[in-house]
A = this chain, B = another copy of it.
């Protein structure tokens, strides 16, 4: 800690000079718990003691060091992790709007505030976007420094639910590009963001909600979160949806799987003049019959990344405050040191959301 940063040592008795962090050490698979200096919050930043930090598929990519990670992460050595909530324990120079002791979640996309996108209401696609735990040290640690403007104050919400607002925000963003109430919705892919999308659209008054996946456990979770109809993605999803929508097809498709077959099911199932939000990351190019799948149907396709800054956060928090319950989605809570188990669980598909607890042994 150096000049300019004020840290509340009284309220954080355990705050020493070093901390435990999960570090990607080099350009190769693997990760390790290391003892690092507690970061110093820079200008406009806050220091957060991490209470809960959940595992995203991205974290597994980083640990496994797949091509995406090789292209995007780092450079190593660096702490990763980004979905998080914790307590503000320090202010960098110029920070202070958020009081010490407040619980915050993190908007993980750090934007420059000055580019064309940031100046025209679409900072979520900032030209100089930097992501927490990907381009700068992340939250798989006891402490993390984040810009104060990225810290979202949380009231009356547990740390683990607060942390989940970041991926839930993806679902909210994808769903609320246009109206949802009274619309039929198909959620394709029931990973954590998919099942959160199911809960979100049900809370928002969607008409009939269909959910598809290959994994029966995930479909079961979708049912639990409110899906009216769950379908094995290998079945004739399009026919089922048409049959249950008077032959009209579905109003809103939320593509959460990143699987090309789901993409085609979505285009085939959507009603003429309907809309599709694409959020699931595709690792390979898809072969799309543009005329038939998009043009002649008069479809609107929305690429969805991140969260609208900060409209999405207001809506996400509001939905949680009004009773949307994410608890069933959290299937595992583990100390940070059991990260390897956590990553295996996520990769296996037999888990919902796995939350790491850096303050626990």
A residues neighboring B (CB under 8 Å):
43, 94, 97, 113-117, 119-122, 124-127, 149, 172, 176, 179-184, 203-208, 246, 248, 258, 263, 271-273, 278-279, 281-283, 285-291, 294-306, 308-311, 314-316, 318-319, 321-322
Contacts and interface: CB of A to CB of B under 8 A. Distances in A.
A285 B278 contact: no
Contacts of A183: 315, 318
Contacts of A172: 182
A206 B318 CA distance: 8
A311 B181 contact: no
Contact of A310 (B120, B124, B311): B120
A181 B315 contact: yes
Contacts of A116: 246, 248, 271, 314
Nearest to A178: B179
A173 to B, nearest CB: 9
Contact of A263 (B290, B299, B305): B290
Contacts of A184: 318
B294 A301 contact: yes
A298 B122 contact: yes
Contacts of A322: 182, 205-208
Given A181-B203, A204-B205, A272-B127, A120 B278 contact: no
A126 B297 CA distance: 9
B117 A271 contact: yes
Contact of A298 (B115, B282, B285, B303): B303
Residue among A246, A295, A299, A300 with max Cβ neighbours from chain B (10 Å): A295
Interface of A is mostly: loop
B282 A285 contact: no
Contacts of A114: 97, 149
A304 B295 contact: yes
Contacts of A182: 172, 176, 204, 314-316, 318-319, 322
B291 A295 contact: no
A218 B272 CA distance: 33
Contact of A282 (B263, B283, B289, B318): B289
A246 B114 CA distance: 14
A248 B317 CA distance: 15
A99 to B, nearest CB: 14
Contact of A287 (B285, B295, B314): B285
Contacts of A278: 290, 294-295
8 contacts: A115-B248, A117-B272, A119-B314, A176-B181, A183-B318, A207-B319, A263-B290, A278-B295
A318 B303 CA distance: 27
Closest 6 CB pairs of A and B: A182-B315, A125-B272, A181-B204, A122-B273, A204-B205, A207-B318
Contacts of A308: 121
A295 B305 contact: yes
Given A125-B273, A180-B204, 4 more contacts: A182-B204, A281-B291, A282-B289, A295-B303
Residue among A117, A119, A273 with max Cβ neighbours from chain B (10 Å): A273
